C-alpha cells in the first residue's frame, strides 16, 4: 500500500533577481512500513523535499499525496490538521520544549490537537518505554543527554500514530553509540510496527539501516539503491559509498 506519493514535484525559490531551483520533477513512492533514506550533497534539496512531504511548504508545481489524499491544494488550516494528525517530525536538534518534562514533550502534539492528555497517559508511558526512557518521564530536556533527548523526540513523533515519520539528520548531532540506538529504534519501528519513515542523512552508516536509499543531486533523484541487511552491515555501507563515488556526490 502506498502511503506517500510525490508526482513531478518542482520547488523554486524566487530570490529577487534569481530563481533558485531546489527540486526538479521529483517523483517517488513510499509504501507502508518502508524506511527510506534520502542522501545527497549539501544544497541538493533534501530538506526541501522533506518539508514538502510533510506539508511544511508547498511545491511550485506537482502534487504530493499522503495516505491517498492530496495535500497540495489545501488551505493552510487544512494542511495544518493533516500535519498534526498524519505526520511525525524528528529534527537534528531535537526541538524539545525546555520547560516541559519528557512525558509532557511526548504528549505535546496531542495537546496542540486539542486532545485531553489524561486520556493518553498510558500511551505516552508506553512510548517512553519503547525508547528506553520509562525512568526519565519527569526529566526536563537539560537533565538528559543528547541521545536521550532525541529518543524523547522520536516518542513525540510517534504519539499521533502518524502515517509517516519524517526525520532530517536525526543522528547528525549524536555520537556514534547514541546514533546507533536511534537508528535501531527507527529500523525496529518500521519492521515491527510497519511505521513508514523517510530519513534525510549525510551518513552512509545511518542510511544503511534503511530499506533503500534515494540519492538526490542538484534537485533531482539520480539513483535508488536497495539495502540488503538493513542493519548497518559494512557491505551495505560500502555499496552506498560506491554509489556516492560513482555519482560524484
Ligand atoms: N527558504 C529558502 N529560500 C531560498 N532558497 C532556499 C530556501 N531553502 C532552501 N533554499 C535553496 O534550495 C536548495 C536546496 O536546499 P536544501 O535546504 O533543501 O538542501 P539540503 O540538501 O537539505 O542541504 P544540507 O545538506 O546542507 O542540509 C539550496 O540551493 C538552498 O540554498
Ligand atoms: Mg538540509
**Domain-wise residue ranges, the chain:** 2-246
What is the whole-number distance in angstroms between the Cα of residue 38 and the centre of ligand 2? Answer: 10
Mean pLDDT of 88-102: 95
Return the pLDDT at 39.
98
Contact 153, 91 (CB under 8 A): yes
Q: Is the CB of 47 under 6 A from ligand 1?
A: yes
Q: Is the CB of 19 under 6 A from ligand 1?
A: no
Return the pLDDT at 147.
94
What is the whole-number distance in angstroms between the Cα of residue 43 and the centre of ligand 1? Answer: 5
What is the whole-number distance in angstroms between the Cα of residue 153 and the centre of ligand 1? Answer: 24
For 198-216, how does the pLDDT look when each residue is reduced to its tens digit (9 = 90+)?
999 999 999 999 999 999 9
Helix %, strand %, coil % for the chain, to 5? 40, 25, 35
CATH class of 2-246: alpha beta
Return the pLDDT at 183.
97
**Three cell numbers written together for 35:** 524506511
Question: Which residue's CA lies nearest to atom 5 of ligand 1?
Answer: 13
End-to-end CA distance of the chain: 31
Contact 38, 246 (CB under 8 A): no
User: What percent of the chain has a predicted confidence (pLDDT) above 90?
Assistant: 96
Mean pLDDT of 165-179: 94
Return the pLDDT at 109.
95
Question: Which residue's CA lies nearest to atom 8 of ligand 1?
Answer: 48
User: What percent of the chain has a predicted confidence (pLDDT) above 70?
Assistant: 100
Q: Which of 38, 42, 48 to mutate to test the pocket of ligand 1 (most atoms within 8 A of CB)?
A: 48
Question: Which residue's CA lies nearest to atom 29 of ligand 1?
Answer: 43
Contact 11, 220 (CB under 8 A): no
pTM here? 0.96
Helices assigned H by DSSP within 25-75: 46-53
What is the whole-number distance in angstroms between the Cα of residue 47 and the centre of ligand 1? Answer: 7
Q: Which of 210, 206, 84 is nearest to 156 (CA)?
A: 84
Amino acid at each position: 500500500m502506498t502511503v506517500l506519493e510525490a508526482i513531478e514535484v518542482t520547488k523554486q525559490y524566487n530570490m529577487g533577481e534569481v530563481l533558485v531551483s531546489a527540486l526538479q520533477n521529483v517523483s517517488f513512492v513510499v509504501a507502508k512500513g518502508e524506511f527510506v533514506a534520502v542522501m545527497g550533497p549539501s544544497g541538493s534539496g533534501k530538506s526541501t523535499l522533506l518539508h514538502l512531504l510533510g506539508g511544511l511548504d508547498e511545491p511550485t508545481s506537482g502534487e504530493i499525496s499522503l495516505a491517498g489524499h492530496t495535500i497540495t491544494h489545501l488551505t493552510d488550516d487544512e494542511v495544518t490538521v493533516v500535519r498534526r494528525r498524519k505526520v511525525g517530525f524528528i529534527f537534528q536538534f531535537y526541538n524539545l520544549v525546555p520547560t516541559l518534562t519528557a512525558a509532557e514533550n511526548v504528549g505535546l502534539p496531542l495537546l496542540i490537537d486539542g486532545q485531553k492528555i489524561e486520556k493518553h497517559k498510558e500511551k505516552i508511558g508506553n512510548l517512553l518505554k519503547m525508547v528506553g526512557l520509562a525512568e526519565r518521564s519527569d526529566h526536563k530536556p537539560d537533565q538528559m543527554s543528547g541521545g536521550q533527548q532525541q529518543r524523547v523526540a522520536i516518542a513525540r513523533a510517534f504519539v499521533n500514530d502518524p502515517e509517516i515519520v519524517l526525520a532530517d539528520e536525526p543522528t547528525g548531532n549524536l555520537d556514534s553509540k547514541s546514533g546507533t540506538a536511534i537508528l535501531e529504534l527507527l529500523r525496529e519501528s518500521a519492521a515491527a510496527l510497519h511505521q513508514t519513515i523517510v530519513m534525510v542523512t549525510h551518513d552512509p552508516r545511518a542510511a544503511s539501516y534503511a530499506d533503500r536509499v534515494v540519492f538526490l543531486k542538484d534537485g533531482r533523484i539520480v539513483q535508488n539503491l536497495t539495502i540488503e541487511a538493513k542493519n548497518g552491515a559494512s557491505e551495505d555501507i560500502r555499496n552506498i559509498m560506491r554509489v556516492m563515488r560513482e555519482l560524484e556526490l
